[in-house]
Structure 1
Amino acid sequence: MANSTLAEDLQDRGPLIESRSIEWVPLNERSGSPKSLFSLWFMSNANITTLATGMLGAALGGSFAVSALAILLGVAVGTVFTAFHSAQGPQLGLPQMIQSRAQFGYRGVALICLIVVFSLVGFNMFNQMLGAEILVKVTGVDVNALWYFIISALALMLAIFGYHWIHRTQKWLTWLFLLTFGVLTVAAIVLVPLPADQFSFTSFTWVSFLVQFGAAAAYALGWAPYVSDYSRYLPPETKPGRALFYTYSGIFVGASWLMLLGAFVAATFAASDPIGAVRDLAERVLPGSGNMLLIAALPGLVAVITVNIYAAAMELITVADSVRPLRPTRAVRIIATSLIAAIAFVGSVLSTGAFLDSFGSFLVILLYVLVPWTSVNLVDYFFVRRGHYVISEIFRPGGLYGNWGWRGMVAYAAGLIAMVPFAVTAWYVGPVAQVLGGADIALFVGLIVSGLVYLLLGRTIDLAAEREAAAADKLATGAHAVVFARE
């Protein structure tokens, strides 16, 4: 039985180095179970960066109870959209942003891709900063550039090996996390009591609640532009509900757990330094274990940097292909991953400033620019075209979906504009947000406006002709599309 399982695992990994990138994945290369999505997304969120996100509410005076409520609601809301995007992967066999050509056009999608590349590079800079800080604290060697290089090189190596090895590594790291942070969490609950006032809502303010809510929602939503990159090799007969469930549960459990732990250490030590707070908590639970726990957290940071490098490379190749069609070879993917890793490395070396302040502002901006896109994409997939896409036309310049998808771009712009009066950032607070006392509800405004505008504009699409073309394309290529329509 063991030998059989090992043989199946090796087969699921595919080639040693993945050869595909943005092209459609043929049916004979599809394999695996949607259960693998749980460990991939659980471990992508079970890291120190997620923990730091859970400390943002406390930095504004929120109690643990207020932060916990905001975290759970924020993650629950943000993950909904990400999980529905993940369900698209097995049905279409495409990376997320390639599929978005149907809404934004062959060339127009490049604008969204560049925003996603920027966000992923930003996440990796923050991840590398945390990893370097861990290594400085553990080794006493304060040479950040060296640590950035080592972390980047390890993450790049795994990203080059590709899809199947990333899934496998995240599964192994899940067990390591449970053996380390799992034990720490249980011990902390038993041995480190919080002050009574941390369980009170008497100091509740909408500002601290909504900042933490927005950060949690943005963090969970941040995976959406590339979540189907990691489900596109699954068999097309995979039930959308299963892909959705395992993605949702993986993100929700991983993100909620670490953010709640972050709120816990912030309430316990009244500190804004996530690395120091984690080490102090470990020392409180078991003296002498602080550095060991930090070392155990490093592989998770490296792995999530890998996930981001791989996805950003997909976006970069999509941008290049949108400008001038190219053949997405293995060499092209390796060059793209190397370039993304190099940009994040240089950005980390040149960056300065307080981590939590910068990260909180970054998450707010990320939420604003991604919300209109996710609304347009999901409305198109589930309510307008209802899963019917002509796969071959997605790869043809000026084809059925055009070079510039005006409907998607107008709906996206409408959502961005509608959010401006409600926006709350370190540099600008909208007039409506000022009336609300600094409360940030821009997320909901952007979602509703972009979705409604696209739904209205989508009525001008000749859906009957597209469905006929999709059916012919399916017969010609063997592509599979699931039908969500109420026929």
Structure 2
Amino acid sequence: MAVGTSGSPGTTGADGPARSGAAAPPPAGGGRKPVIEARSIDYVPLAERHGKVWHLFPVWFAGDAHLATVATGAIGVGLGGNLVWTAIAVVLGCALGTFFMAFHSTQGPQLGLPQMVQSRPQFGFIGALLVWLVALTTYIGYNAFNQILVGSTLDHLADVPTGASYVGYAVIAIVLAVVGYDIIHKASRWLTYVVLVALALFTVCVIVVHPFTHAQLDLGSFALTPFLIQLFTAAVYQLSWSIYVSDYSRYLPPSVGVRSSFWWTYLGAGVGGAWMMLVGTVAAGLFPGKSLVESVISAGDRALGGFGVALLVITVLPLLTMGALNVYGGSLTLLSSLDSLGRFRLTVARRIGALCVVAVVSTAIAFGASENFVEEFGHFLSVLGTLFTPWTAVNLADFYLVRRGRYSIREIFNPRGIYRRWNWRGLLAYGTGFVVMLPFSVIGDAEGPMARLLGGLDVSMPVGLFVAAGVYLLVCRSLDLSAERLAVAAADAGLEPEGT
């Protein structure tokens, strides 16, 4: 897929000088790689690309296979669905949501940029702030929920004060995120090995013990409402990872290809997400009256005597790298937002400062949150679905169907460039998709009129995808792509050394 191949974007483009602050690369030179990652939202030159495409599997398997995912798989049973139909909904929902998420992952090697800064061609240099603020809220919200889960687990297991858990979690996340991309990938690989063994052992033991009743496995006991709610909740949960994925594939060389990066991401997130959600489904089905932590312990003990605590601990461990992913991605989004508002030079100190801001805000939210985690988590996912579905539709439609991967890296960092400050096409498509989704949405006790007619079912996700993508493709028919591609070639000429 052809892209405006480029280096550091801090040079003069075809339509004016790019912002020098957004372009500052780390110092060039030989020797060992620095311990602390120097790049943030700037482009990763081809000479710095490294890693193998299969590394995307563990980073998204471990990123998805944790206790928060377990909670997502328990929602259908909690609404009255039986175990087998909830399990089917989990698998189908994960397959659907991960499909769109994995397509975002392929953008990283092709563009060499973090995920959210890639929204500027669709929404404009300033207009992209709309989706960035939503993304920043997501990173902080997820991290706060994860801190609450870790705190309740350690309190249950070892009477560790929740406040100490929140602070410790934040410190570990900051340390990993400061070191950056490579350490997050390495930690994810080791965690994947551990979690894979634990999940395989749990699954085999559950099959052998077979603790289920006929009613739990009765395919004739189908309830539409809990089935669809579980399906779309799982899909939205997986879709919400879309704002993360290019952050952890952007150092890969573009030669890894679209198909490979798609499938390694899809399998990692899809298998890790579905498998861990099924742990939640089984735990909630076997022990419906217990809390999330207690039901996981009880399910592990039922499968293999004494395995419950170990299973719980193993589902908590990936939350440590998940914390790093959240503050790392949140810091990139925060820096992208600040870069749109005013000139400043990107430095390691500013990157670390942004990491700390994200971690401190999420920790403050965790301290002030209520204990009704599962219900609030479900509402949070509903809000995310409404906010991110039209962005996903617009971003993917632009990348694969309109511009087909042909972007100028320099112009993405140029406030007076070809992508303009405000792009009415992307904003109109996003706004239309968002408004059309509302009548089909269910958020907490609030039901849209169409959702009410459908018996309280939230089917806003497919509606938003179809409408936002359709509107964007329609309004882009007037876009002069031939002229834009000439401008892209002129702006990015000479950005990579000859022979790179």
The TM-score bracket by the shorter chain reads over 0.9
* 1:292 is aligned to 2:310: yes
* 1:376 is aligned to 2:394: yes
Can you list the C-alpha shifts for 1:87-140, whole angstroms capped at 9, x where unaligned? 011011011111110001111111111101111111111111111111111112
* 1:313 is aligned to 2:331: yes
> Shift of the alpha carbon at 1:14?
4.2
Q: State how far apart, in whole Å, the 2-side matches of 1:292 and 1:114 are.
A: 38
* 1:446 is aligned to 2:464: yes
Can you list the C-alpha shifts for 1:333-387, whole angstroms capped at 9, x where unaligned? 1111111010110000001141111011111111110000000000011111111
Alignment of 1:25-40 (within 5 A): 25-40=44-59
Corresponding residue number in structure 1 for 2:75: 56
For structure 2, the 5+ residue unaligned runs are: 1-29
Q: Among 72, 96, 105, which residue is 1:86 paired with?
A: 105
> Shift of the alpha carbon at 1:282?
2.2
Q: State how far apart, in whole Å, the 2-side matches of 1:307 and 1:333 are.
A: 14
* 1:422 is aligned to 2:440: yes
Q: Among 367, 373, 391, which residue is 2:385 paired with?
A: 367
Contact 1:102–1:394, Cα closer than 8 Å, also in 2: yes
Corresponding residue number in structure 1 for 2:228: 210
> Shift of the alpha carbon at 1:272?
5.1
* 1:398 is aligned to 2:416: yes
Contact 2:282–2:299, Cα closer than 8 Å, also in 1: no
Q: State how far apart, in whole Å, the 2-side matches of 1:212 and 1:444 are.
A: 15
Q: Counterpart amino acid of 2:126? A: R
> Shift of the alpha carbon at 1:332?
1.3
Alignment of 1:339-378 (within 5 A): 339-378=357-396
Q: Among 454, 458, 467, which residue is 1:436 paired with?
A: 454
Q: Among 326, 330, 337, which residue is 2:348 paired with?
A: 330
Corresponding residue number in structure 2 for 1:246: 264
Deviates more, 1:89-98 or 1:296-305: 296-305
Deviates more, 1:470-479 or 1:98-107: 470-479
Q: State how far apart, in whole Å, the 2-side matches of 1:203 and 1:431 are.
A: 28
Corresponding residue number in structure 1 for 2:155: 136
* 1:99 is aligned to 2:79: no
Q: Counterpart amino acid of 1:359? A: F
Corresponding residue number in structure 1 for 2:197: 179
Partner of 2:447, secondary structure, is: coil
Contact 2:386–2:438, Cα closer than 8 Å, also in 1: no
Q: State how far apart, in whole Å, the 1-side matches of 2:176 and 2:331 are.
A: 13
Partner of 1:451, secondary structure, is: helix
Q: State how far apart, in whole Å, the 1-side matches of 2:315 and 2:456 are.
A: 35
Corresponding residue number in structure 2 for 1:483: none
Corresponding residue number in structure 2 for 1:156: 174
Q: Counterpart amino acid of 1:120? A: Y
For structure 1, the 5+ residue unaligned runs are: 1-10, 481-487
Deviates more, 1:372-381 or 1:464-473: 464-473
> Shift of the alpha carbon at 1:454?
0.5
Q: Counterpart amino acid of 1:152? A: A
Alignment of 1:182-193 (within 5 A): 182-193=200-211
Contact 1:313–1:337, Cα closer than 8 Å, also in 2: yes
TM-score (norm 2): 0.91
Q: Counterpart amino acid of 2:455? A: G
Q: State how far apart, in whole Å, the 1-side matches of 2:415 and 2:256 are.
A: 30
Q: Counterpart amino acid of 1:48? A: L
> Shift of the alpha carbon at 1:443?
0.6
> Shift of the alpha carbon at 1:474?
4.1
Deviates more, 1:276-285 or 1:317-326: 276-285
Can you list the C-alpha shifts for 1:403-435, whole angstroms capped at 9, x where unaligned? 111111110000011111111121321111111
* 1:72 is aligned to 2:71: no
Deviates more, 1:17-26 or 1:454-463: 454-463
Partner of 1:66, secondary structure, is: helix
Tell me the C-alpha RMSD between the 2 structures.
Answer: 1.8
Q: Counterpart amino acid of 1:46? A: A
* 1:45 is aligned to 2:59: no
Report % sequence identity.
Answer: 42
Q: State how far apart, in whole Å, the 1-side matches of 2:148 and 2:287 are.
A: 21
Q: Counterpart amino acid of 1:296? A: I
Q: State how far apart, in whole Å, the 1-side matches of 2:203 and 2:144 are.
A: 27
Contact 2:410–2:492, Cα closer than 8 Å, also in 1: no
Q: Among 484, 489, 498, which residue is 1:471 paired with?
A: 489
Q: Among 24, 33, 42, which residue is 1:23 paired with?
A: 42
Partner of 1:476, secondary structure, is: coil
Q: Counterpart amino acid of 1:263? A: T
Q: State how far apart, in whole Å, the 1-side matches of 2:497 and 2:373 are.
A: 45
Corresponding residue number in structure 2 for 1:256: 274
Corresponding residue number in structure 1 for 2:22: none
Deviates more, 1:286-295 or 1:406-415: 286-295
Alignment size in residue pairs:
469
Deviates more, 1:425-434 or 1:278-287: 278-287
Corresponding residue number in structure 2 for 1:484: none
Corresponding residue number in structure 2 for 1:127: 146
Contact 1:14–1:164, Cα closer than 8 Å, also in 2: no
Q: State how far apart, in whole Å, the 2-side matches of 1:176 and 1:164 are.
A: 19
Q: Counterpart amino acid of 1:391? A: I
Partner of 1:271, secondary structure, is: coil
Q: Counterpart amino acid of 1:325? A: R
Contact 1:415–1:446, Cα closer than 8 Å, also in 2: yes
Q: State how far apart, in whole Å, the 1-side matches of 2:446 and 2:436 are.
A: 15
Q: Counterpart amino acid of 2:78? A: A
Partner of 1:397, secondary structure, is: coil
> Shift of the alpha carbon at 1:479?
9.4
Q: Counterpart amino acid of 2:348? A: R
Q: Counterpart amino acid of 1:101? A: R
Partner of 1:386, secondary structure, is: coil
Contact 1:391–1:479, Cα closer than 8 Å, also in 2: no
> Shift of the alpha carbon at 1:290?
3.0
TM-score (norm 1): 0.93
